[in-house]
Structure 1
Amino acid sequence: MKLAFSIGMRFLKKSKVQTALIVIGIVIGVAVQVFVGSLIEGLQQSLVDGTIGSSPHITIVNSQDNEPFADNEALYEDLKEDERLTAVAKSFSKNGLVSLDEDNTKAVLLRSFEMSDADAIYSFEENLVEGVLPTETNEVIIGTNFSEANELTVGDTVNFIASTDKAEDLTVVGIFDLGVASLNESWVVSELATGQALFEEADRLTSIETQLDDVFAADTIAAEVNTQIEDANLVTTNWKEANESLLSGLTGQSISSYMIQVFVLVAVLLGIASVLAISAVQKSKQLGILKAMGIKDKTAGQIFLFQGFVLGTVGAVIGAGLGLGLMYGFSYFVKNADGSSLVPFYFDTQFVILSSVIAIVASTIAAFIPAKNSSRLNPMEVIQNG
Structure 2
Amino acid sequence: MVFSAKVAMRFLKSGKSQTIFIALGIAIGVSVQIFIGLLIQGLQQSLVNKTIGNSSQITVTSMKDDKLIGNWEDIVDKISSEKRIEKISVAADSSGFVRHDGKSEPVLVRGFLPDKADGIYNIKENIIEGEALNGDGQVLIGKEFRDKLELKLGDEIEIVNFEGKKSTLKVKGFYDLKVSSINKSWLIVNLKTSQDIFGFQNKVTGIEMQVADSDVFDTVDITKSVESIINNENLKVEDWQSQNAQLLSGLSGQSMSSIMIQVFVLVSVILGIASVLAITVMQKSKQIGILKAMGVKDRSSSLIFMFQGFFLGILGAIIGVVLGVGLIVMFSKFALNPDGTPVVPIYMNYGFIAFSGLIAVISAVAASLIPARKSSKLNPIEVIRNG
- TM-score class, shorter-chain normalisation, is over 0.9
Match of 1:128 in 2: 127
Question: Structure 2: which amino acid aligns with 1:330?
Answer: F
Match of 1:61 in 2: 61
Question: Structure 2: which amino acid aligns with 1:71?
Answer: N
TM-score normalised per structure 2? 0.97
Closer/same/farther in 2, CA of residues 174 and 204 from structure 1, 3 Å limit: same
* Alignment partner of 1:48 is 2:48: yes
Match of 1:84 in 2: 84
Match of 1:230 in 2: 231
For residues 191 and 72 of structure 1, the distance between their equivalents in structure 2, rounded to whole angstroms, comes to: 16
For residues 71 and 151 of structure 1, the distance between their equivalents in structure 2, rounded to whole angstroms, comes to: 40
Question: Structure 1: which amino acid aligns with 2:175?
Answer: F
Closer/same/farther in 2, CA of residues 182 and 65 from structure 1, 3 Å limit: farther
SS of aligned partner of 1:70: coil
Q: Which runs of 5+ in 1 are unaligned?
A: none
Per mean C-alpha deviation after superposition, the further-off stretch among 178-187 and 72-81 is: 72-81
Question: Structure 2: which amino acid aligns with 1:8?
Answer: A
- Per-residue CA deviation, residues 236-279 of structure 1 (Å, 9 max, x unaligned), is 11112221111111100000000000010010001100100110
Corresponding pairs, count: 385
Match of 1:9 in 2: 9
Match of 1:31 in 2: 31
SS of aligned partner of 2:107: strand
Match of 1:73 in 2: 73
For residues 340 and 2 of structure 2, the distance between their equivalents in structure 1, rounded to whole angstroms, comes to: 55
Question: Structure 1: which amino acid aligns with 2:96?
Answer: G
How far off its partner does 1:18 sit?
1.6
For residues 138 and 370 of structure 1, the distance between their equivalents in structure 2, rounded to whole angstroms, comes to: 80
CA contact (8 A) 2:79 2:229 kept: no
* Alignment partner of 1:207 is 2:203: no
Matches for 1:236-255 after TM superposition, within 5 Å: 236-255=237-256
- Per-residue CA deviation, residues 312-352 of structure 1 (Å, 9 max, x unaligned), is 00000110110111111111110112221100112101101
How far off its partner does 1:83 sit?
2.5
CA contact (8 A) 1:59 1:209 kept: yes
* Alignment partner of 1:373 is 2:374: yes
For residues 21 and 155 of structure 1, the distance between their equivalents in structure 2, rounded to whole angstroms, comes to: 70
Match of 1:104 in 2: 103
CA contact (8 A) 1:71 1:205 kept: no
SS of aligned partner of 1:141: strand
How far off its partner does 1:66 sit?
6.9
For residues 257 and 66 of structure 1, the distance between their equivalents in structure 2, rounded to whole angstroms, comes to: 47
Which runs of structure 1 show a deviation greater than 3 angstroms over 4 or more consecutive aligned residues? none
Closer/same/farther in 2, CA of residues 320 and 275 from structure 1, 3 Å limit: same
- Per-residue CA deviation, residues 91-140 of structure 1 (Å, 9 max, x unaligned), is 00011122214x32222111001011111111111110011111211111
Per mean C-alpha deviation after superposition, the further-off stretch among 70-79 and 41-50 is: 70-79
For residues 333 and 71 of structure 2, the distance between their equivalents in structure 1, rounded to whole angstroms, comes to: 48
RMSD of the TM alignment (CA)? 1.3
Question: Structure 2: which amino acid aligns with 1:38?
Answer: L
CA contact (8 A) 1:87 1:121 kept: yes
For residues 217 and 352 of structure 2, the distance between their equivalents in structure 1, rounded to whole angstroms, comes to: 18
SS of aligned partner of 1:205: coil
Match of 2:287 in 1: 286
Match of 1:269 in 2: 270
- Per-residue CA deviation, residues 31-80 of structure 1 (Å, 9 max, x unaligned), is 01000000000011111111111111111001246711213222201323
CA contact (8 A) 2:95 2:107 kept: yes
SS of aligned partner of 1:10: helix
Question: Structure 1: which amino acid aligns with 2:297?
Answer: K
User: In percent, how many aligned pairs have the same letter?
Assistant: 45
Per mean C-alpha deviation after superposition, the further-off stretch among 85-94 and 370-379 is: 370-379
TM-score normalised per structure 1? 0.97
CA contact (8 A) 2:143 2:174 kept: yes
For residues 131 and 82 of structure 1, the distance between their equivalents in structure 2, rounded to whole angstroms, comes to: 37
For residues 265 and 65 of structure 1, the distance between their equivalents in structure 2, rounded to whole angstroms, comes to: 58
Question: Structure 1: which amino acid aligns with 2:154?
Answer: G
Match of 1:166 in 2: 165
For residues 270 and 310 of structure 2, the distance between their equivalents in structure 1, rounded to whole angstroms, comes to: 12
For residues 5 and 66 of structure 1, the distance between their equivalents in structure 2, rounded to whole angstroms, comes to: 77
Match of 2:320 in 1: 319
Closer/same/farther in 2, CA of residues 65 and 371 from structure 1, 3 Å limit: farther
For residues 83 and 331 of structure 1, the distance between their equivalents in structure 2, rounded to whole angstroms, comes to: 35
For residues 381 and 77 of structure 1, the distance between their equivalents in structure 2, rounded to whole angstroms, comes to: 82
Match of 1:148 in 2: 147
CA contact (8 A) 1:131 1:174 kept: yes
Question: Structure 2: which amino acid aligns with 1:70?
Answer: G
For residues 369 and 348 of structure 1, the distance between their equivalents in structure 2, rounded to whole angstroms, comes to: 33
For residues 135 and 254 of structure 1, the distance between their equivalents in structure 2, rounded to whole angstroms, comes to: 45
Question: Structure 2: which amino acid aligns with 1:342?
Answer: V
SS of aligned partner of 1:88: strand
CA contact (8 A) 1:145 1:181 kept: yes
